[in-house]
């Protein structure tokens, strides 16, 4: 069934991630290819309420596939949580002649889109863009692969100075309340210990492991700590705890922070974004709505957006076992 959609909006929402620009580019270029108008919506739901729109054609997205961040900006928007705010947004979209939109963001952004669809019967499709990789219905979210490479590169640099000074480093990484970045980057960077919220193995085990590392002849160590870790101590408190209970270590801390959200997207993220943008536009034109585009076994799939929001991504137990073996 070919729908009556003639003009599609596209926007980015929530925490930005590398690959969002590649996804914007793909949505715009697919609209151009299929002869559908496309409008960029700036600053997510905030710009939607304000009518901050800009028509976009194939040329509008030149030279952005390799750029981190999002040319459409992003924001978190409290007013959109109200019926009044959503009604204002709907009026703005209709005034602009926009018949459907593609939202590139995380579960919070998808929640807004789902409610908007329910209230106004307005077609919406989601593309998962967040470095956390915590969205049900896709093996990878846009930005996760790039963030992993950013973190591994940073840890490689920290390891240089850790080994020069025989130091133990606690490195905090993002992930809000999941340990996917910590676990994958920890294995990739050869961290001696990885602390993630999904597996709180306690401080005694950490001390034991660090003691074993020292006794086995390791002169320096790297411990990756997910920001949502559940030991009950932040990285600075972990440093103090180890200094107090294991004074053999000279301890330092490095919090990677928002650098994990930036940088040129990896090839994988660029290709995934390009694939997802095409699928999102084609799905809208086929009359589909309230779905999220995802990738599973390297095939694109569609998941009901209410499942994507409520579902949880499981930590990879096999990878946890690999990480334990690698610290031998
Ligand atoms: O969701 C992406 C993310 O980077 C999380 O990993 C992190 O906890 C959060 O956003 C930080 O949010 P903000 O950019 O608002 O400080």
Mean pLDDT taken over the chain: 96
pLDDT score for 312:
87
pLDDT tens digits along 268-289:
999 999 999 999 999 999 999 9
Q: What is the mean pLDDT of residues 25-40?
A: 98
pLDDT tier at 1 (50, 70, 90 boundaries)? very low
Q: What is the mean pLDDT of residues 198-210?
A: 91
For ligand 1, atom 7, name the residue with the nearest CA: 176
Gap between the Cα atoms of 313 and 320, Å rounded: 15
pLDDT tens digits along 111-146:
999 999 999 999 999 999 999 999 999 999 999 999
Contact (CB, 8 A) for 86 and 116: yes
Q: Token pair for residue 138?
A: 């896709």
| Closest ligand 1 atom, residue 134 Cα | 1
**b/e per residue, 290-319, with b = 16+ CB within 10 A?**
bbbbbbeeeebebbebbebbeeebebbeee
Gap between the Cα atoms of 48 and 41, Å rounded: 6
pLDDT(63) > 90 = yes
CATH number of 7-143+265-310: 3.40.50.450
State the span(s) of the chain assigned CATH 3.40.50.460: 145-261
15 Cα: distance to centroid of ligand 1 (angstroms): 6
State the span(s) of the chain assigned CATH 3.40.50.450: 7-143+265-310
pLDDT tens digits along 183-201:
999 999 999 999 999 998 8
Give percent helix, percent strand, percent coil of the chain, each to the nearest 5.
45, 20, 35
| Closest ligand 1 atom, residue 106 Cα | 1
Gap between the Cα atoms of 256 and 186, Å rounded: 13
DSSP string over 116-158: HHHHH---EEEEEB-TT---TT-S--BTHHHHHHHHHHHHHHH
**Residue in 99, 77, 98, 79 with CA at minimum distance from that of residue 88:** 79
Gap between the Cα atoms of 319 and 114, Å rounded: 33
pLDDT(2) > 70 = no
pLDDT(87) > 80 = yes
Contact (CB, 8 A) for 30 and 277: yes
Q: Is the CB of 174 under 6 A from ligand 1?
A: yes
Q: What are phi and psi of 9, to 5 degrees?
A: -90, 150
Contact (CB, 8 A) for 293 and 302: yes
Q: What is the mean pLDDT of residues 161-177?
A: 97
pLDDT score for 3:
64
Contact (CB, 8 A) for 37 and 7: yes
| Weakest mean pLDDT among 37-41, 84-88, 259-263, 324-328 | 324-328
CATH number of 145-261: 3.40.50.460
Q: Is 321 annotated as a binding residue?
A: no
């Amino acid at each position: 069934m070919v729908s009556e959609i003639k003009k599609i909006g596209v926007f980015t929402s929530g925490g930005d991630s590398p690959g969002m620009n590649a996804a914007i580019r793909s949505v715009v270029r697919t609209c151009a290819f299929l002869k559908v108008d496309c409008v960029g919506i700036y600053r997510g739901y905030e710009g939607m309420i304000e009518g901050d729109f800009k028509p976009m054609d194939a040329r509008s997205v030149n030279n952005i596939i390799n750029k981190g961040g999002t040319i459409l900006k992003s924001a978190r928007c409290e007013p959109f949580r109200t019926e009044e705010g959503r009604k204002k947004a709907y009026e703005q979209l209709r005034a602009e002649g926009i018949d459907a939109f593609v939202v590139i963001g995380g579960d919070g952004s998808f929640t807004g889109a789902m409610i908007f669809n329910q209230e106004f019967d307005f077609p919406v499709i989601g593309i998962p863009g967040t470095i956390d990789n915590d969205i049900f219905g896709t093996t990878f979210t846009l930005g996760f692969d790039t963030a992993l490479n950013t973190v591994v590169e940073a840890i490689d640099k920290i390891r240089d100075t850790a080994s020069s000074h025989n130091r133990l480093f606690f490195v905090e990484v993002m992930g809000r309340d999941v340990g996917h970045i910590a676990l994958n980057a920890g294995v990739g960077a050869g961290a001696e210990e990885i602390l993630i919220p999904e597996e709180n193995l306690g401080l005694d085990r950490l001390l034991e492991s660090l003691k074993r590392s020292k006794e086995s002849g390791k002169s320096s160590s790297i411990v990756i700590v997910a920001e949502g870790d559940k030991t009950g101590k932040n990285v600075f408190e972990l440093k103090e705890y180890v200094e107090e209970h294991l004074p053999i270590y000279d301890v330092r801390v490095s919090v990677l922070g928002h650098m994990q959200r930036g940088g040129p997207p990896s090839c994988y993220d660029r290709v995934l974004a390009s694939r997802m943008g095409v699928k999102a536009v084609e799905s809208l034109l086929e009359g589909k709505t309230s779905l999220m585009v995802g990738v599973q076994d390297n095939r694109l799939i569609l998941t009901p957006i209410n499942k994507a929001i409520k579902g949880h991504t499981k930590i990879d137990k096999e990878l946890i076992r690999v990480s334990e073996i690698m610290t031998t």
